[in-house]
Chain A
Amino acid sequence: MARLLVELKLRLVRNALRSSTAARVSFLVSTTFAVLVAIGTFWLLAQLRLLSASVDLTTVIFSIFAIGWLIGPIFAFGLDGTLDPATMALYPLRTGPLLVGLLAASAAGAWPLANVLGLLGVTIGLAHGGLGVLFALIAVVLQVLFCIVLARFVITSMARLLRSRRGKDLAVFLVVPVFAIFEFLIQVIPRAAASGGLSPASFAGVDSWMRWLPPGLAAHAIQDASTGHLGDALARLGLLVAVIIVLGVLWVRSLDRALVTTDTSTRSSRVHNAALPLARYGLRGAVAARFLRYQRRDPASFAYWALVVVIMFVCSASTILGPHQHPAVVVASAIFGAAFVGSFHANPVGQTGPAFVFEAMALSGRRELRSYFSGQDIVFAAIAIPLLTGVSFGLAALVRDPREGFVAAAVGLAGLGAALAMSNIFSVALSYPMQKRAGSPMPQQAQGFGGYAFGATFGTLASVAVAVIPVIVLSNLTSSVSAAVRLPVLFGCAAAYGFGLAWLGVRAAAIAAEGKIPELCQVAMRTSL
């Protein structure tokens, strides 16, 4: 069974590689990345040799890997066909051999190997002497085994949920904290480390409680063995083995249940709204009502708004956390926030999917198309204006320059107008089909349309950056004028300018879309969400 499932996994990978060039490139990138992670982790762990907090840092790194294994399957559900126990439910398999087979299938591949090789850096960084190295080898294998069993237990327990709509919705919501953590790690931590705010000593003592978690047990067992405390080291590894066995037993029970439980969705939800809003405003109102409902109920829509907020905070993070305050960065945050509002909504046909066909039946003339685009813009503006303004003022308060919040909000208004205009234009000029790809809970561009998505995103960002220049110039030219006069004028001019740009965008998009409805329908029908 183990051999069969490992072969199945390898065959699935081979078939995916044969399917398209994009899949081959993706595999190559993933494998290269795995190699880099292995080398980087090995090097990082080896560098801890001379540090007093080496065991603390090793515990942290082991824990990060365990968290990665814990979260990964939630996003990668469907990526690995052997992950889903339901695919095995039709065959007369006993739980024991199936368990071994699934474990072997999990361990096969570039990433598990990269984990083992990378973590072996502890043989240099933490282990001392022959006994230390021996315990390091065992601890690393047990640590990776723990990660695999943990991931399998979680995925088997959640298999039914992740196949349901609510489970998939939950996975979409997880994108936001994961993105925030990622940005924190690559943007904020390096800056904090560069400014001296973060050093290895900062981790001293963190393992007072982490040492009792499985990754901590593995790390401390290596240290105990290296310092001659053989009994403690054995006890820790014994405890780790016990944890793995308990998890394994829970996994078996969960697997037994999953194999005989029907694949059903979770309870369906009912809505309480009696009717669609904006009834008095014709086609524009109808489209706005639909988009408004989606902003509330579609997790991807919600995630896009949350990502805008994260992006705005990350832009200003250096100023907020750093020793030197640069209030003008708040304006940059507003520009990026506005630009990403447009960029995230620059493909409404692909994001709507085949249901767009129903809308297309009512969208033949230029007038109807203007209503369609303006209906969307009204909803996006109704959410974006308070969001961008609120975050701008919040960031300005954090950098202790509230006046900069007014300037940022004004620039944000102008930027939003430009962003909506460009999103409308790109939604016709660079419309592309979307698909829910295995490995990502968020819909992405279909294979072969990466250039379209790239063009729409960077086209929107660049256009917004250019479009806000007049407002920034006006702000600078009036900087010596009293705030009571300057700020209302700046706000008024920026709002009018932004509105004008959005209005032009609606008209241009309607003209462009008038002869392209069948092509847009084809984009919609090629979308699989």
Chain B
Amino acid sequence: MGEPAIEVRGLRKSFDKKEAVAGIDLDIEAGSLAGLVGPNGAGKTTSLSMMTGLLRPDAGRIVINGLDVWADPSAAKAVIGVVPAEARLFERLSGEEVLEYAGRLRGLPAAEARSRAAQLLDVLDLTADAKRLVADYSTGMRKKAALGCALIHNPSVLFLDEPLEGVDPISADVIRRLLTRMVGTGSTVLFSSHVMELVEQVCDHVSVIDKGKILASGTTDEVRGGKTLQQAFIDLVGPRSKGEDGLSWLGSSSN
């Protein structure tokens, strides 16, 4: 394995005595497109929030490209981009203004921020809506605009929380191609998802998290172990349904 771009050791976080993240270790190689998969409430968002400096961990160490996120947050934040789960942007700015603002926040000269914003809007198929307020954007458009904000300073490590949740197939394809292209240039992408097909298709590294613990981590083939990722995932976290015995009335033939 090459130099890890993301190195997590003993990461822990509790909320009101409930342990959301129970000591996870993770190594993501530079140039990887990695997926963090787990059921709802597994600790994906909490973990990503701590890795990106948005949530203070109770314990543990996170190193991004050799920079300790909690010892040197300024330097670490400069090399990362983040797309939060709920892509809540500045509702009263237009798509164009949001991207330009993100660029200027990241220290880009205004002209450069404007130019990159226009290019990103074009690639993300948002040019026609560039002058509309974000408040009027659909979920997919917000996700794409949030991705544009996260990419505008050309981060070497990109974190995305459920990037394709609520996104139509065309927009999803745009996002997928953009992530693949980033990784092709040596950047690292870590995203959380519970869509196994997507992770299986695009990720070269997968970590399965449940109840705040990493159950498996490695290349996608290693984690699958000859099965589909969906089946491997269910085998790891265990089925949650109690059966459908009580629904004898359900279905056309029961009428």
A binds B: yes
Chain A: residues with CB nearer than 8 A to chain B?
165, 265, 268-273, 275-276, 279-280, 282-283, 285-287, 289-290, 293-294, 297-298, 352-355, 357-362, 364-365, 368, 517-519, 521-522, 525, 529
- Write the chain A residue with the least CB distance to B104: A286
Chain B: residues with CB nearer than 8 A to chain A?
49, 52-56, 73-74, 77, 80, 82, 84, 86, 88-94, 96-97, 100-102, 104-107, 110-111, 114, 131-133, 135-136, 149
Instruction: Indicate which residue in B97, B106, B135 contacts A362 across the interface (CB closer than 8 Å).
Output: B106
Smallest CB separation, A217 vs chain B (Å): 43
The answer on a CB contact under 8 Å between A355 and B136 is no
The answer to whether residues A522 and B55 also contact, given A268-B136, A358-B149, A364-B74 and a CB cut-off of 8 A, is yes
The answer on a CB contact under 8 Å between A276 and B92 is no
The answer to whether residues A269 and B133 also contact, given A276-B97, A521-B54 and a CB cut-off of 8 A, is yes
Residues in B neighbouring A269, C-beta threshold 8 A: 132-133, 136
Smallest CB separation, A399 vs chain B (Å): 38
The answer to whether residues A275 and B100 also contact, given A268-B133, A269-B132, A353-B88 and a CB cut-off of 8 A, is yes
Residues in B neighbouring A265, C-beta threshold 8 A: 136
Residues in A neighbouring B100, C-beta threshold 8 A: 275-276
Smallest CB separation, B16 vs chain A (Å): 14
- Write the chain A residue with the least CB distance to B95: A271
- Write the chain A residue with the least CB distance to B55: A518
State the CA gap A112–B107 with chains docked (Å). Answer: 58
7 contacts between A and B (CB under 8 A): A270-B132, A279-B104, A286-B101, A293-B92, A353-B88, A361-B106, A362-B105
- Write the chain B residue with the least CB distance to A527: B88
Which of A286, A359, A360, A529 has the largest count of B CB atoms less than 10 A from its CB? A286
Smallest CB separation, A446 vs chain B (Å): 15
The answer on a CB contact under 8 Å between A165 and B135 is yes
The answer on a CB contact under 8 Å between B110 and A275 is yes
Residues in A neighbouring B133, C-beta threshold 8 A: 268-271, 297
Residues in B neighbouring A275, C-beta threshold 8 A: 96-97, 100, 110, 114
Instruction: Indicate which residue in B82, B110, B111 contacts A357 across the interface (CB closer than 8 Å).
Output: B82
- Write the chain B residue with the least CB distance to A169: B135
Residues in B neighbouring A362, C-beta threshold 8 A: 77, 105-107
Smallest CB separation, A104 vs chain B (Å): 32
Instruction: Indicate which residue in A165, A355, A364 contacts B90 across the interface (CB closer than 8 Å).
Output: A355
State the CA gap A285–B77 with chains docked (Å). Answer: 21
Smallest CB separation, B121 vs chain A (Å): 13
Residues in A neighbouring B104, C-beta threshold 8 A: 276, 279, 282-283, 285-286, 289
Instruction: Indicate which residue in A283, A358, A360 contacts B102 across the interface (CB closer than 8 Å).
Output: A358
The answer on a CB contact under 8 Å between A271 and B97 is yes
Instruction: Indicate which residue in B77, B86, B90 contacts A361 across the interface (CB closer than 8 Å).
Output: B77
Instruction: Indicate which residue in B55, B80, B96, B136 contacts A165 across the interface (CB closer than 8 Å).
Output: B136
Instruction: Indicate which residue in A280, A289, A357, A368 contacts B54 across the interface (CB closer than 8 Å).
Output: A357
Top 8 nearest A-B pairs (CB, nearest first) are A268-B136, A279-B110, A354-B88, A286-B104, A364-B74, A362-B105, A297-B92, A518-B56
Smallest CB separation, B219 vs chain A (Å): 30
State the CA gap A275–B98 with chains docked (Å). Answer: 10
The answer on a CB contact under 8 Å between B82 and A361 is yes
Smallest CB separation, B39 vs chain A (Å): 21
Known: A270-B132, A364-B74, A525-B84. 15 other contacts (CB 8 A): A165-B135, A269-B132, A273-B94, A276-B101, A283-B104, A289-B101, A290-B93, A293-B97, A297-B92, A298-B92, A358-B149, A360-B54, A361-B80, A362-B77, A362-B106
Smallest CB separation, A431 vs chain B (Å): 15
The answer to whether residues A270 and B131 also contact, given A286-B105, A359-B105, A364-B77 and a CB cut-off of 8 A, is yes
Residues in B neighbouring A517, C-beta threshold 8 A: 53, 73
Residues in A neighbouring B49, C-beta threshold 8 A: 521
Smallest CB separation, B201 vs chain A (Å): 28
Instruction: Indicate which residue in A286, A298, A354 contacts B86 across the interface (CB closer than 8 Å).
Output: A354
Residues in A neighbouring B54, C-beta threshold 8 A: 357, 360, 518, 521-522, 525
State the CA gap A517–B89 with chains docked (Å). Answer: 18
Residues in A neighbouring B80, C-beta threshold 8 A: 361
State the CA gap A272–B97 with chains docked (Å). Answer: 11
The answer on a CB contact under 8 Å between B84 and A354 is yes
The answer on a CB contact under 8 Å between B88 and A355 is yes
- Write the chain A residue with the least CB distance to B90: A355
Residues in A neighbouring B136, C-beta threshold 8 A: 165, 265, 268-269
- Write the chain B residue with the least CB distance to A355: B90
Residues in B neighbouring A294, C-beta threshold 8 A: 90, 92
Which of A289, A355, A529 has the largest count of B CB atoms less than 10 A from its CB? A355
State the CA gap A297–B133 with chains docked (Å). Answer: 10
The answer on a CB contact under 8 Å between A290 and B131 is no
Residues in A neighbouring B114, C-beta threshold 8 A: 275
Smallest CB separation, A416 vs chain B (Å): 24
State the CA gap A519–B90 with chains docked (Å). Answer: 20
The answer on a CB contact under 8 Å between A358 and B105 is yes
Which of B88, B94, B101, B107 has the largest count of A CB atoms less than 10 A from its CB? B88
The answer on a CB contact under 8 Å between B107 and A283 is yes
- Write the chain A residue with the least CB distance to B101: A290
Residues in B neighbouring A276, C-beta threshold 8 A: 97, 100-101, 104, 110
State the CA gap A270–B105 with chains docked (Å). Answer: 24
Residues in B neighbouring A353, C-beta threshold 8 A: 88
Smallest CB separation, A442 vs chain B (Å): 15
Residues in B neighbouring A280, C-beta threshold 8 A: 110
- Write the chain B residue with the least CB distance to A371: B105
State the CA gap A528–B38 with chains docked (Å). Answer: 25
Instruction: Indicate which residue in B52, B74, B89, B111 contacts A365 across the interface (CB closer than 8 Å).
Output: B74
Residues in B neighbouring A529, C-beta threshold 8 A: 91
Residues in B neighbouring A286, C-beta threshold 8 A: 101, 104-105
Smallest CB separation, B148 vs chain A (Å): 11
- Write the chain B residue with the least CB distance to A287: B105
Which of B73, B97, B105, B107 has the largest count of A CB atoms less than 10 A from its CB? B105
State the CA gap A199–B73 with chains docked (Å). Answer: 67
Smallest CB separation, B156 vs chain A (Å): 14
State the CA gap A360–B55 with chains docked (Å). Answer: 11
Residues in B neighbouring A358, C-beta threshold 8 A: 89-90, 102, 105, 149
- Write the chain B residue with the least CB distance to A361: B77
State the CA gap A521–B48 with chains docked (Å). Answer: 13
State the CA gap A270–B137 with chains docked (Å). Answer: 11
Smallest CB separation, A519 vs chain B (Å): 7
State the CA gap A289–B89 with chains docked (Å). Answer: 16
State the CA gap A364–B77 with chains docked (Å). Answer: 8
- Write the chain B residue with the least CB distance to A529: B91
State the CA gap A329–B107 with chains docked (Å). Answer: 47
Residues in B neighbouring A270, C-beta threshold 8 A: 94, 131-133
State the CA gap A275–B136 with chains docked (Å). Answer: 19
Residues in B neighbouring A518, C-beta threshold 8 A: 53-56
Residues in B neighbouring A355, C-beta threshold 8 A: 88-91
Residues in A neighbouring B55, C-beta threshold 8 A: 518, 521-522
- Write the chain A residue with the least CB distance to B102: A358
Residues in B neighbouring A519, C-beta threshold 8 A: 56
